Amino acid sequence: MAAQFSIRLTPAPIEFGTDGWRGIIAGDFTFERLGQVAPIAAQVLKQTYSAETRDSNLIVVGYDRRFLSPEFAEAVAIAVQQAGFDVMLSNTFVPTPAVSWAVKQYGALGGLVITASHNPAAYSGLKVKGAFGGSVAPHITQEIQAQLGQPMVPAQTSGTLTRFNPWPDYCAILRSKVDLTAIQDAIASGRITVYVDVMHGATATGLEQVLGCPVRELRSAHDPLFGGTAPEPLAKYMPELLQTIRDRAASGKAEGVTVGFVFDGDGDRIAAVDGQGNFLSSQILIPILVEHLAGNRGLTGEFIKTVSGSDLMPKVAQLFNLPVFETPIGYKYIADRMLQTGRVLLGGEESGGIGFGTHIPERDGLLSALYVLEAIAISGKDLSELYQDLQRRTGFSSAYDRIDLTLSSDATKQALIRELKERPFTEILGIAVSEITDPDGFKVRLADGSWVLIRFSGTEPVLRLYCEAATQAEVEARLTWAKEWAIGHES
């Protein structure tokens, strides 16, 4: 497998993947190409949402803390303004969910966000948000792509351009979703100690702004290189937070419950750390949140999971008689389902994106953290205790992991897809295959109840390998097998 990305003499085609268009800065992702895409995206948003926004002409533009993000956002705002649209441009970096909320709050046609989310520092990107305040459905991004080669009708007059700060209103709406006083009291009394790793991203100072009380924030400085790693909420990218909490636990001086949060580069994904310094992905957080919202808050509605979600999730939903719906990977599929059903408790994906029926149909790392803090304040329990309680109640326990392999070329990807289709697995490590489904990638269920998912990223030249099994050793063995299979079938 190749290095992080490959150098090309010609830019890759403008294509929208799992969540937006992303590309290498100065290679694929340039001011000129943004100037082409942004007005067309605004035009498609108007074609799609004009009626439900009462002929609004407004587009909201925001950005993260990546290299050139403020300048890219300014270029987008000007291009869209010159195309005849009114534009509200953020005057500071903000989490992507804050832009989505502003779209809904101001009755805009949609939002355009300069961000490459969790991708490495060499990337930037453009996310498109609909008038409802969430990721647009695939058919809308497909329409944007389809119109790229067509000339736009010149605008008779330019629109307006207004700069604004999305943070105050965004923080206010998040505060209204939880028992803020209970959380503040628990922090002030020492019953909860909060650490936050913002990974040099757009949530810097965010949790403290929402809570109105101090938290212990790590890596808040502006660093467009993200310390040399990717701003993705995975254990391998957050050693400082893990070690800090482990040292606190080992000191014997920690009182109350210690919890750590980590947010990705644009603040729509989350992971956590328990009081002993153990990494907790959304595979663990989502069941805890389902139990909190349905059990403690008495809320109901459909639970939406993606194909890579843990089997514990539907089992917890069953405890509260919640209907379960499964989607492909990508929050836009969850958002689309939220809009279809109208009554959803929670929608969550393995990669850390979690959204709530109490808010807009958008994943939101900060709101997820608030609900987790509320669950701890009510129970007085560490996150791992809450998780173990659910395992006991459902009679189900498992281990989970994911590894990513960078592909050397598109030919490699196509060769692997052909292999999967033409020679489907019948066993893995001597365990018979009971079922193979392919709603998004190839999910292989084994006779012992474990599963392996082989899937190609929609935003990077990456092969993602997922596994859930009874023990961590079994997970590691199956992932090693899958990795060796992939490397052995490179073209």
Is residue 6 over pLDDT 70? no
Residue range 390-405, pLDDT digits in tens: 999 999 999 999 999 9
Do 390 and 403 lie in one domain? The reply is no
Do 428 and 445 lie in one domain? The reply is yes
pLDDT, average across residues 318-326: 97
What range does the domain containing 390 cover? 177-394
Query: What gap in Å lies between CA 97 and CA 83, rounded to an integer?
Result: 25
Instruction: Judge whether 243 lies within some domain.
Output: yes
Do 243 and 362 lie in one domain? The reply is yes
Specify the pLDDT at position 8: 63
429, 430, 435, 440: CA torsion to nearest 10: 10
Do 368 and 441 lie in one domain? The reply is no
Q: Is 470 exposed, middle or buried (0-12, 13-18, 19+ CB in 10 A)?
A: middle
Query: What gap in Å lies between CA 111 and CA 61, rounded to an integer?
Result: 6
Do 321 and 202 lie in one domain? The reply is yes
Task: Provide, rounded to the nearest whole percent, the portion of the chain with pLDDT above 90.
Answer: 88
Is residue 437 over pLDDT 90? yes
Is residue 491 over pLDDT 70? no
| Average predicted confidence (pLDDT) for the chain | 94
Do 147 and 215 lie in one domain? The reply is no
pLDDT, average across residues 430-456: 95
Residue range 238-274, pLDDT digits in tens: 999 999 999 999 998 889 999 999 999 999 999 999 9
* Domain stop point among 369, 394, 419: 394
Instruction: Judge whether 1 lies within some domain.
Output: no
444, 138, 313, 286: CA torsion to nearest 10: 130
- Predicted confidence band at 41 (pLDDT cuts at 50, 70, 90)? very high
Nearest to 297, CA basis, from 239, 346, 231, 227 = 346
- Predicted confidence band at 3 (pLDDT cuts at 50, 70, 90)? very low
- Predicted confidence band at 7 (pLDDT cuts at 50, 70, 90)? low
**Which domain CATH number covers 409?**
3.30.310.50
Nearest to 357, CA basis, from 370, 369, 348 = 348
Instruction: Judge whether 172 lies within some domain.
Output: no
Specify the pLDDT at position 459: 67
- Predicted confidence band at 2 (pLDDT cuts at 50, 70, 90)? very low
Long-range contacts (CB closer than 8 Å, 24 or more residues apart) made by 386-394 = 386/288, 386/291, 387/280, 387/284, 387/287, 387/288, 390/287, 390/288, 390/291, 390/312, 390/316, 391/312, 393/319, 394/312, 394/315, 394/316, 394/318, 394/319
Is residue 5 over pLDDT 60? no
Is residue 1 over pLDDT 50? no
Do 340 and 475 lie in one domain? The reply is no
Instruction: Judge whether 11 lies within some domain.
Output: no
- Predicted confidence band at 330 (pLDDT cuts at 50, 70, 90)? confident
Per-residue exposure over 292-325, b if at least 16 CB sit within 10 Å of its own CB, e if not? bbbeebebbbbbbbbbbbbbbbbbbbeebebbbb
Instruction: Judge whether 3 lies within some domain.
Output: no
Do 42 and 159 lie in one domain? The reply is yes
Residue range 96-135, pLDDT digits in tens: 999 999 999 999 999 999 999 999 999 999 999 999 999 9
Domain count, the chain: 3
- Predicted confidence band at 197 (pLDDT cuts at 50, 70, 90)? very high
What pTM does this model have? 0.93
Instruction: Judge whether 463 lies within some domain.
Output: yes
**Which domain CATH number covers 26?**
3.40.120.10
Specify the pLDDT at position 256: 96
Reduced to 3 states, what is the DSSP secondary structure of residue 243?
helix
Do 232 and 360 lie in one domain? The reply is yes
Do 389 and 422 lie in one domain? The reply is no
* Residues 6 or more apart whose Cβ sits within 8 Å of residue 342: none
Specify the pLDDT at position 253: 83
pLDDT, average across residues 138-157: 90
pLDDT, average across residues 54-77: 97
* Domain stop point among 373, 394, 415: 394
Is residue 84 over pLDDT 80? yes
Instruction: Judge whether 5 lies within some domain.
Output: no
Query: What gap in Å lies between CA 479 and CA 80, rounded to an integer?
Result: 46
Do 251 and 294 lie in one domain? The reply is yes
Do 117 and 194 lie in one domain? The reply is no
pLDDT, average across residues 170-192: 98
Q: Where is pLDDT greater, at 491 or 100?
A: 100
Spacing of C-alpha 126 from chain mean position: 14
Is residue 4 over pLDDT 60? no
Instruction: Judge whether 9 lies within some domain.
Output: no
* Domain stop point among 378, 394, 410: 394
